[in-house]
Amino acid sequence: MAVDAVPVADHVEAELVDDEQLLGQRVAPGEPGQPGGDAVPARRLPELGLPVPEPGDTVAASFLGRPIRLEHNQFGLTDLTLTDDGTGLVFRARDDAGAEHVIRCGRGEWVDGETTLWTVERPASPYAVAGRVGGETANTVSLLWQYVQTPFRRTVTVRQVGEGTVEVSFETDLTLWRGRNETVRGRL
């Protein structure tokens, strides 16, 4: 039996309404130009740890442009590099089969692309993905990947945690895929 949607419990809906009132906007704003799409929170909640960059804003995280060698992980990724292309960040990773995966993420806007990263069928078919920089500080970068025409979004956060050491966190927003979340250490 196929399921097209999961019902939302009434108490969860009530919590969302409270959050909307707190933020003074929709919790999940629509696309720019749509109702609520251009809304900006009146104030920042303390739980939101990374500032959302505006177009043209750049932060030179110490690991940008430097190869990161990853420890063994469930995704089979061996190394990655984040580079600044002037309009956003480029995530470039290599897996244990030697395939390269590139996802571009815009600052202040979504960038369309495609990837076979985390594709379960073999041979791998590319999925449409839109990437956006979620936030940047001097030691942390967060990337948002929305798999187009799916409810699936992945957040990748790279954080320098020591001299020459980073943590790369791969998280999904779908409960049924939570087992695929992982934080991996890497060496610069």
Give the model's pLDDT for residue 98. Answer: 92
Q: What CATH superfamily is the domain 68-187?
A: Calycin beta-barrel core domain (2.40.128.20)
**What percentage of the chain reaches a pLDDT higher than 90?**
45
Give the model's pLDDT for residue 93. Answer: 97
CATH 2.40.128.20 residue ranges for the chain = 68-187
5-19: per-residue pLDDT in tens? 333 333 333 343 444
Query: Is residue 24 over pLDDT 50?
Result: no
Give the model's pLDDT for residue 75. Answer: 86
152-164: per-residue pLDDT in tens? 899 999 999 999 9
Token pair 């993420």 in the structure block, residue? 105
Confidence of residue 32 (pLDDT cuts 50, 70, 90): low
Give the model's pLDDT for residue 150. Answer: 85
**Identity of the amino acid at 97:** A
E strand spans, the chain? 68-70, 77-84, 88-95, 100-106, 111-115, 127-136, 140-147, 153-162, 165-172, 182-187
Whole-number average pLDDT of the chain: 76
49-108: per-residue pLDDT in tens? 555 555 445 555 789 999 999 999 988 999 999 999 999 999 999 999 899 999 999 998
In this predicted structure, which of 49-53, 134-138, 139-143 has the lowest mean pLDDT? 49-53
Which comes out higher in pLDDT, residue 181 or 20?
181
Give the model's pLDDT for residue 88. Answer: 94
Confidence of residue 4 (pLDDT cuts 50, 70, 90): very low
